[in-house]
Structure 1
Amino acid sequence: MGILLLGFMAIGVALVYRVMRDSPPPAIAAEVAVPEGAEILSALNTDGTIQVTFSAGGATMLNIYDAGTGELVRSVTIGTD
């Protein structure tokens, strides 16, 4: 009886393992657009967003893009020169 129960448990563990390992990785945008001539200072991929800090036209800005689509979500001016 114990061996039969152990066999069913092994099958259950194998099924759960297969379902969990076969999930596809999340999609990430291949590229995002920043203004022409901008100097990229940093870029982060966190919490479903791509955050790019850059300097352009005498201002330092932070653009936040959706990581799945690459679409601009928000633009924030951090400072001016």
Structure 2
Amino acid sequence: MSNPEPNVPNAADTELSPEAVVMLGKARRSFAVSMGILLLGFMAIGVALVYRVMRDSPPAAIAESVALPAGADVISALNTDGTIQVTFRAGGATMLNVFDAGSGELVRSVQIGTE
């Protein structure tokens, strides 16, 4: 059947020789160095991933110039929401032209007047 005595080896059987103790120390140091290098590698990968995710995207291209009528006096110019909005006075009328910021094409023209 079964042996009622616990299966615990004697202390004399588990003692290691000095050579075995030295080998276990070397193995532990080798394991610690390997784990340290592995952890540094994982940290480097994590830093690289965070850097790539948090990096700013390049600024959007903006048109170098937009076309206004000859002799127009510019009152204001804004660069917002992917558009360039220019308010100017030409002749006796005040106009607002909205241009696409990327291409510089005229999207909309609005005459501003009083009633």
Q: TM-score range by the shorter chain?
A: 0.7 to 0.9
**What's the counterpart of residue 12 of structure 1?**
46
Pick the structure with more strand per residue. 1
Using the alignment, how far apart are the partners of 2:112 and 2:73 within structure 1?
A: 14
> Within 2, Cα distance between the matches of 1:6 and 1:63?
56
The answer to whether the aligner puts 1:51 opposite 2:85 as a matched pair is: yes
Q: Highest Rg: 1 or 2? A: 2
> RCO higher in 1 or 2 (8 Å CA, sep ≥ 6)?
1
Give the RMSD, CA atoms, in angstroms: 2.4
TM-score w.r.t. length of structure 1: 0.80
Long gaps (5+) in structure 2: 1-34
Give aligned-pair identity as a percent. 84
1:24 aligns with 2:46: no
Tell me how many residue pairs correspond in the alignment: 80
Question: How far, CA to CA, are the matches of 2:52 and 2:91 in structure 1?
Answer: 52
Deviation at residue 21 of structure 1 after TM alignment: 2.6
What is the rounded CA distance, in whole Å, between the counterparts of 2:83 and 2:56 in structure 1?
Answer: 24
Normalising to structure 2: TM-score of the pair? Answer: 0.59
- Per the TM alignment, residue 35 of structure 1 is displaced from its structure 2 partner at its CA by 0.4
